[in-house]
Amino acid sequence: MPDSKFSYILTIVFVLAVVYPGQAQEIRNNYKDDKGLPRLMIERTMIYEPDTNWFYSHHPSITYFKNRFIAIWSNGYKDEDNPGQRVVFSVSNDFSHWTKIKTLAVPSFTLDTQNVLTAAGFHQYHDTLIAYYGEYTHDKKQTHLWAKTSEDGEHWSEPIDMHVAVNPNHGPQPTKSGRLVISGNFTFPYTDDKKGLSGWKMTSFYADSLYKEDNPDTYEAPSKVIGIPPLCEGSFYQTDDSIIHMLLRATDDGWKGRLWLTESKDDGLHWSIPTETGFTDNDSKFHFGRLPDKRFYYVGIPDTLHHSERNPLVFAISNDGKFFNQQYVIADKVYKMKKDGIWKDGQYGYPHTMILNGYIYVIVSRLKESMEVIRFKIPRKK
């Protein structure tokens, strides 16, 4: 074993045993199944249902900008993350009625094959809306993060290169200091440019030597080196002690029905080696956040009995950022697929949330084919 790798593993052992003892088990839920859980009163509307083409839709995000709702997502012919996958958007004045989809970005070519684009969320700065998307080749190489800006949510700038090799899970999110942090798979780029268009720096719990880029095909290799499950698709929240808690999906052969956790105590500069939490997970993306009354929340699929079915969609609240014990069923209605495709599964896929005027808005893909948005009033504090 090379000395550098041996030293790195010793460092990991030290961190796990001394610096972060028991950190992850403090974050947990108490979900078993949906029996007896209260059901939220919801409103829902389908943003997009394919008719004759473009049968793949996934990776959604929603925002509210200049009195209009705006949604973006990845949109492909019929298979997940295949060449030609683009990013589209739709706009609504009232939540219920949405415009026909328009193209936000189309992939470029590498030699004679189209690249793949993945929608990566929004950020707002004063009167400017920024939309992000990742791009990589058909064999998942040459990863780039791009952004486009808009003053009205309809017309967009030319692509702007962010100069980081990441395909994000969620768009930039501010910490208490105002720093912006992106939740990637295993990298968490940050910038102190409040507009979010420059100065991005890569960080990770992995050593720099273990990765060159962060996309859906690169998370497994470094995990084998340090002996943890393949981890991806992070989402974070920050507690009053300024610690950033980044939860991670354990997937593939590493799925054991629990989320994993890495933490930063220095505003995203360094991250602890991940450890398993007591928070159940169905093997899907999720979204954490903080309510206006300072409680913490989660939207995702905590079921472990029906692996990868991604149903029901659940809302959970924690008073202390550790125990998410107030749980509600958001939705469990079954959607029927129109056209089969590679990796097209999961009733409520990849939720992203937004808080607006006392409501939680949740956008989800339905079997990675259609787009739906749901809203409900924030439950009162108990």
| pLDDT at residue 189 is higher than 50 | yes
Which tops the pLDDT comparison, 6 or 274? 274
Tally of CB atoms within 10 A around 27: 24
- Beta bridge mates, 149: 130
What are the backbone dihedrals phi and psi of residue 222, each rounded to the nearest 5 degrees, phi first? -65, -25
Tally of CB atoms within 10 A around 254: 17
Check residue 23 and give its pLDDT: 55
CA distance 320 to 219: 31
What pLDDT, in 10s, does the model give residues 201-215?
999 999 999 999 999
- Length, in residues, of the chain: 382
Check residue 13 and give its pLDDT: 43
Region 346-370 average pLDDT = 98
Tally of CB atoms within 10 A around 87: 25
Q: How far is CA 15 from CA 115, 273, 331, in A?
A: 39, 7, 40
| pLDDT at residue 6 is higher than 80 | no
CA distance 222 to 187: 12
**Nearest to residue 305, comparing CAs of 327, 281, 332?**
281
Within 13 Å and on the Cβ side, how many CA atoms surround 272?
28
Check residue 24 and give its pLDDT: 62
Residue with the two structure tokens 């394919």: 50
Region 74-85 average pLDDT = 97
Check residue 188 and give its pLDDT: 98
Region 329-352 average pLDDT = 97
Lowest mean pLDDT among 17-31, 298-312, 332-346, 349-363: 17-31
Tell me the pTM: 0.94
CA distance 20 to 244: 14
Check residue 282 and give its pLDDT: 98
Check residue 2 and give its pLDDT: 46
Check residue 3 and give its pLDDT: 46
Return the beta strands (E) in 151-303 as ranges: 160-161, 170-174, 180-183, 190-191, 231-238, 244-250, 258-264, 275-280, 287-290, 296-300
By three-state DSSP, how is residue 12 classified?
helix
Check residue 243 and give its pLDDT: 98
What are the boundaries of each domain within the chain?
Answer: 3-377
CA distance 349 to 27: 23
| pLDDT at residue 14 is higher than 90 | no
Q: How far is CA 302 from CA 170, 206, 279, 284, 370, in A?
A: 19, 27, 8, 9, 22
| pLDDT at residue 9 is higher than 50 | no
Check residue 15 and give its pLDDT: 44
Burial string for 256-291 (b: 16+ CB within 10 Å, else e) reads ebbbbbbbbeebbeebbbbbbbbbbbbbbbbbbbee
Region 35-64 average pLDDT = 98
What pLDDT, in 10s, does the model give residues 134-163?
999 999 999 999 999 999 999 999 999 999
344: part of which helix (H) or strand (E)? none
Pick the CATH number of 3-377 from 1.10.10.10, 1.10.1060.10, 2.120.10.10, 1.10.150.120: 2.120.10.10
Residue with the two structure tokens 């998370």: 219
CA distance 87 to 73: 6
Determine contact, residues 311/347, Cβ cutoff 8 Å. yes
Side chain identity, residue 357: N
Check residue 135 and give its pLDDT: 98
Per DSSP, helices labelled H in 42-127 are: none
CA 58 to chain centre: 11
Determine contact, residues 214/229, Cβ cutoff 8 Å. no
